[in-house]
């Protein structure tokens, strides 16, 4: 334990590092690619409904297309709430050098389902209101609330306290977080449009939808781990705690 604490103190001296967040995210995902992506895939299956109009399977601008967007979005939001918590728990096990038990991780997601869903809805509403007002406030809210979901799960907080906790943790590091989010968002969008276009060209709308759903699963797992690692590193940098102390809630 002493070695872990000293390691945390050394990291705190280096401050919050975007490079470390990326490296740790890729490492955790690569070691657990299959279980994390399978959980994420189930959560993103409803996205097939939202991709149908874009791929030309359903005419855009119609009542059917609108219904698919609504039901697909709601379904993904609900299921992703559980999968994100499961990936969070599994990622902490991996970072502690423990084997990942995806079924135990899913239990964590189910236990925190309603607080997580409430936090997710509140964050989405605040994002939307801020972006409607102006782009800049939207970006500020985006960075402030980046680790609200991990805070909700790990610290067992309600929606309002989770968002407040995220705002405190990200304070002083929001330009770095903005850079992190900008880079991943641009890369994600480029890959999504490219892969979707290639799939549609080769196999029509059906293959295009399948490719986009599979990509959503991988990208969803990556983003979940990214948020978890950022939360972990922010706490290490600002509070000097170690991984075992942060993840003790799961024991």
pLDDT tens track, the chain, 251 positions: 444 444 444 444 457 889 999 999 999 999 999 999 999 999 999 998 998 888 888 888 788 888 888 898 899 988 988 898 899 889 988 988 888 888 888 888 888 899 999 999 999 888 888 777 766 677 788 899 999 999 998 888 999 999 999 999 999 999 999 999 889 989 999 999 999 899 999 999 899 999 999 999 999 999 999 999 999 999 988 888 777 777 666 56
pLDDT of residue 250: 59
pLDDT of residue 135: 66
24: its two tokens: 């740790």
15: its two tokens: 């401050």
The angle at the Cα of 81, spanning 77 to 84, to the nearest 5 degrees, equals: 125
Task: Determine the Cα–Cα distance for residues 237 and 245; give it in Å rounded to an integer.
Answer: 14
Please list, in sequence order, all residues whose beta carbon lies within 8 angstroms of the beta carbon of residue 117, skipping any fewer than 6 positions away: 77, 78, 81
192: its two tokens: 């999504």
CA 135 distance to own-chain centroid:
21
End-to-end CA distance of the chain: 16
- Crossing angle of helices 174-239/135-144, nearest 10°? 20
Express the helix, strand and coil content of the chain in percent, nearest 5 each: 85, 0, 15
CA 126 distance to own-chain centroid:
17
The tally of CA atoms less than 13 A away on the side-chain side of residue 45 is 7
* Cα dihedral 124→45→232→244 (10° resolution): 130
- CA dist 246 to 55, 185, 195, Å? 43, 28, 37
Task: Determine the Cα–Cα distance for residues 144 and 174; give it in Å rounded to an integer.
Answer: 7
pLDDT of residue 57: 82
Task: Determine the Cα–Cα distance for residues 110 and 156; give it in Å rounded to an integer.
Answer: 13
pLDDT of residue 166: 95
């Amino acid at each position: 334990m002493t070695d872990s604490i000293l390691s945390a103190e050394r990291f705190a001296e280096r401050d919050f590092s975007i490079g470390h967040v990326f490296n740790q995210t890729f490492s955790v995902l690569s070691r657990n690619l299959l279980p994390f992506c399978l959980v994420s895939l189930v959560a993103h299956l409803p996205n097939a409904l939202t991709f149908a109009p874009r791929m030309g399977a359903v005419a855009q601008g119609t009542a059917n297309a609108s219904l698919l967007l609504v039901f697909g979005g709601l379904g993904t939001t609900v299921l992703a709430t559980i999968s994100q918590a499961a990936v969070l728990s599994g990622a902490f096990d991996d970072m502690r050098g423990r084997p990942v038990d995806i079924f135990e991780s899913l239990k964590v997601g189910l236990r925190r389902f309603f607080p997580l869903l409430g936090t997710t809805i509140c964050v989405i509403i605040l994002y939307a209101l801020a972006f409607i007002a102006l782009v800049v406030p939207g970006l500020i809210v985006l960075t402030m609330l980046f680790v609200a979901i991990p805070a909700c799960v790990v610290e067992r907080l309600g929606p309002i306290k989770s968002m407040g906790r995220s705002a405190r943790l990200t304070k002083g590091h929001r330009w770095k977080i903005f850079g992190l989010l900008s880079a991943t968002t641009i890369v994600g969008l480029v890959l999504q449009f490219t892969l979707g276009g290639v799939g549609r060209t080769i196999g029509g709308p059906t293959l295009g939808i399948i490719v986009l759903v599979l990509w959503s699963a991988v990208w969803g797992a990556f983003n979940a781990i990214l948020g978890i690692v950022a939360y972990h590193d922010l706490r290490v940098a600002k509070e000097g705690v170690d991984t075992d102390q942060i993840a003790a809630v799961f024991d």
